[in-house]
Amino acid sequence: MGYRGKLDAQEKARALRAEGRTLADIAEVLGVAKSSVSLWVRDMNIEVRRRQPVARRPNALERAKFAQIQECNYLGVERIGRLSGEAFLAAGVALYAGEGAKRDGKITFANTDPAMIRFFCAWLRRFFTLDESRLRVRVYLHQGLDLDAAESHWSAVTAVPRTQFNKPYRAVADSGFRQTKHEFGCCYVDYTCSRTHREIMGLMRALLTSEAIPG
């Protein structure tokens, strides 16, 4: 590369750097060493804009998978329809059997899925007499995520005011933690009432008996 060519490359490198491009990006575009780019732009205080990955089109197998999922979603809506009172009761019992606390005296249901939490709260309010002031919510959230946003989110989902939230648990994020996976963490809904918990456990045992299973 001649002197004029080197000057042109320097000017282009500085222009690209001003756009927020990384040193590696600039070196690739200009076909020069990254060390040269670093030298040319070292006096520039630039906020680097990371190059966004190019969206990949799904292949035939992925398209078939997505189509089948969509078909099954529609089929699920047709088969479930609108739940009757009896079906809603049984569905909530089954949900609690899988995700709820079994220890006597306290109802606790935890999940990261807002749809699950919303369903449980609606079920609990529908079939049991509650003192709303005794409902408690606790958020389990990794450090580095927005606690205020998380508590506001779960307050809207549960219809429990934040004044009734217990102290959150902040977990240390490990190296494999992805912030986008559980942005609002895990929600724990608590209600302390021995009678209500025993009613739920009685329903659960009834649901799991052989007499409740269709022949």
Here the CATH number for the domain that contains residue 135 is 3.30.1330
Q: Cβ distance 25 to 51 under 8 Å?
A: yes
User: Rounded distance, CA 54 to CA 71, Å?
Assistant: 28
- Answer whether residue 123 is part of any domain: yes
Residue 44 has pLDDT above 80, yes or no: no
**pLDDT of the residue at 204:** 94
Residue 120 or residue 178, greater confidence: 120
In one letter, which amino acid is 80?
Answer: I
Give the chain's largest Cα–Cα span: 90
Region 191-201 average pLDDT: 96
Of 163, 177, 158, residue with least CA distance to 109: 158
Tell me the range of 23-27, 33-37, 187-191, 206-210 where mean pLDDT is highest.
187-191
**According to the model, what pLDDT value does residue 207 have?**
92
Q: In DSSP terms, which residues pair with 202 in a beta bridge?
A: none
User: Is the residue at 69 inside a domain?
Assistant: no
Stated pTM of the model: 0.69
- Is 104 part of a structural domain of the chain? yes
- In whole angstroms, how large is the CA radius of gyration of the chain? 28
Token couple for 39: 């030298």
Q: How many domains is the chain built from?
A: 1
% the chain with pLDDT above 90 = 57
Supply the pLDDT for residue 179.
Answer: 53
In this predicted model, what pLDDT tens digit does every residue of 135-182 receive, in sequence order? 999 999 988 889 999 999 999 999 999 999 999 998 886 655 555 567
The one-letter code for the residue type at 92 is: G
Structure tokens, 26: 């600039």
Orientation of helix 114-127 relative to helix 85-99, angle to 10°: 120
174 within domain boundaries: yes
More confident site: 213 or 192:
192
Q: Would 41 be classed as within a structural domain?
A: no
pLDDT at 2 > cutoff 60: no
28 domain residue, yes or no: no
Asked whether residue 44 is assigned to any structural domain, the reply reads no
Share of the chain above pLDDT 70, in %: 87
Asked if pLDDT for residue 16 goes beyond 70, the answer is yes
Residue 205 within any structural domain of the chain: yes
Range of the domain at 102: 82-212
